[in-house]
Amino acid sequence: MISTWLFGRMQRPVMAAAILLVALAVLVPVLHLSLPQSHALHVPTYIVALTGKYLTYALLALALDLVWGFCGILSLGHGAFFALGGYAMGMYLMRQIGTRGVYGDPILPDFMVFLNYKELPWFWYGFDHFWLAAIMIVAVPGLLAFVFGWFAFRSRVTGVYLSIITQALTYALMLAFFRNNMGFGGNNGLTDFKDILGFDIQADATRSALFAASALALAGGLVISSAIVGSKFGKVLVAVRDSESRVRFLGYRVEHVKLFVFVVSACMAGIAGALYVPQVGIINPGEFAPANSIEVVIWTAVGGRGTLVGPIIGALLVNGTKSFFTAALPELWLFVLGGLFIFVTVFMPKGIVGSLNDLRERGWFGRKRENRDKELPEESIQTAAAE
C-alpha cells in the first residue's frame, strides 16, 4: 500500500530520473573502483567527489522547489537548513577524530582545546553515536522549520515579507555560528575529518559510497516529493500557491498545509547538508550566507520550478557551469551567473524543464500530446501577475 502511495501517481520523467539515479548509484562506484585508471571508462576520484557534491546540491534544490515551486513560499534561507544538517554531521565526524587531532585530546575536538574549553558543551553529548547524529540531521532543521513556520504561517506572513525574514533567519544564524563561544568552531567551522562509520573518509571506496548515498538520497527525495505532489494534499498545495485566500475560504487550514511541506523540505535540506559535509570535508558558517541560499533559488529557477526534475537539472547545470568557469575564466563567472538569473526570470520564467514542456504542448516534438505536467500552468502565472 505504501508503495502504491509512493509510486502510484509518479510521472514518467520523474520515474525515469529516479531510476537513472539508482543506476548511477551503482554504476559510478563500480566504474570508479573496479576499472584501472588507464581505462577509458574509469571515473576519476575528483569526478566522483564533484558529482557527489552536485547531487547533494540537487537535493537541496529539490527541497526548495517543494516549498517554492509547489507552495509559493520563496524561502531565501534554505541554506540554513542545509548548513544545520551539515553541522550535525560535522559534529559526528569531529567526535570520530578522537586522539588523532593536533592536540590529541580524546574527547575535545581541536578547536575546543585551542579555545580553552574544559569540557564538552552539553549539545555535543552523544554525537559520537552515528544514530543520534542521524536523528539530529533531520530533527534540528525540521524543528527549526516547524517553529519558524508555525509562527510565520499562523501570522500570515507571505510574499516578499516571508522571503526577507527567512533571509534574516539565515543571516542571524550565520552571525551566531561565526561566534567562537557558540561551541561550533567559530569562523573556521568543523574540518580535518578522519573517518566516517569507521571508514577512512579519503578512501576511494568511502567516496564512492558517499556518492551512492547522495544519489540514492536524491532518488528517495524525488519519490517522496512526487508522492506528496501527486496526492490530494499536493493538489491543495498547488492551490495554496495559486490562490491562498481562496483555499482558506474553502475551509482548508492553509497554515497547516504550508507548515507540513516546509518542515518536510527542511528535513530534506538537512539530509543534503549531511551528505555534503563528508564529501567536501569542511563545514563553516559561510554556508549560512544569504547569498548561498539565493544561489539555490537560481538553480531551481533555471531548471524549472514547479517541476520535480527541473531543480535537479538546474542544480547540476549551474554548478557544472560554475566549476568550468571558476577554473577557466574566474572573472566571468559572476557575469554569467547574474546574466543567467536575469535571462531566466525575464525570458524563461518556467525554467528549462517548464519551457520544454510548453514546447511539447505546442507540438514541437512530433505529435501533440496531452499535457502531462500541469505543475505550473499558464493560468497560475497570470494569477500571479494579477496580484
List residues binding another protein (CB under 8 A).
74, 148, 151-152, 154-161, 163-165, 167-169, 171-172, 175-176, 178-179, 245, 290-291, 294, 297-298, 301, 331, 333-335, 337-342, 345-346, 349, 381, 384-387
Cα dihedral: 377, 380, 386, 387 (round 10):
-160
In whole angstroms, the minimum distance from the beta carbon of 293 to another protein comes to 11
Nearer to another protein, 335 or 365 (CB): 335
Q: Are 290 and 80 in contact (CB under 8 A)?
A: no
In whole angstroms, the minimum distance from the beta carbon of 74 to another protein comes to 5
In whole angstroms, the minimum distance from the beta carbon of 180 to another protein comes to 10
In whole angstroms, the minimum distance from the beta carbon of 148 to another protein comes to 8
Nearer to another protein, 33 or 384 (CB): 384
Q: Are 279 and 49 in contact (CB under 8 A)?
A: yes
CB-CB neighbours of 103 under 10 Å: 12
Nearer to another protein, 11 or 265 (CB): 265
Start-end of H helices in the chain: 2-7, 12-34, 45-68, 78-97, 110-114, 130-154, 159-178, 204-230, 232-242, 244-249, 254-280, 290-303, 309-328, 333-347, 351-361, 378-386
In whole angstroms, the minimum distance from the beta carbon of 276 to another protein comes to 23
Q: Are 25 and 211 in contact (CB under 8 A)?
A: yes
Q: Are 86 and 276 in contact (CB under 8 A)?
A: yes
**What is the C-alpha separation between 179 and 126, in angstroms, rounded?**
23
Burial class (CB in 10 A: 0-12, 13-18, 19+), 363: exposed
- Which residues, at least 6 apart from 41, have a Cβ–Cβ distance to it below 8 Å? 31, 35
In whole angstroms, the minimum distance from the beta carbon of 289 to another protein comes to 10
In whole angstroms, the minimum distance from the beta carbon of 230 to another protein comes to 25
Nearer to another protein, 20 or 291 (CB): 291
Closest Cα to residue 56, out of 257, 270, 332, 262?
270
In whole angstroms, the minimum distance from the beta carbon of 287 to another protein comes to 17
Nearer to another protein, 29 or 189 (CB): 189
Nearer to another protein, 175 or 250 (CB): 175
User: What is the residue type of 358?
Assistant: D
Nearer to another protein, 53 or 350 (CB): 350
Q: Which residue has the cell 498545509?
A: 257
Q: What angle do CA 60, 64, 70 make, to 5 degrees?
A: 140
Nearer to another protein, 31 or 157 (CB): 157
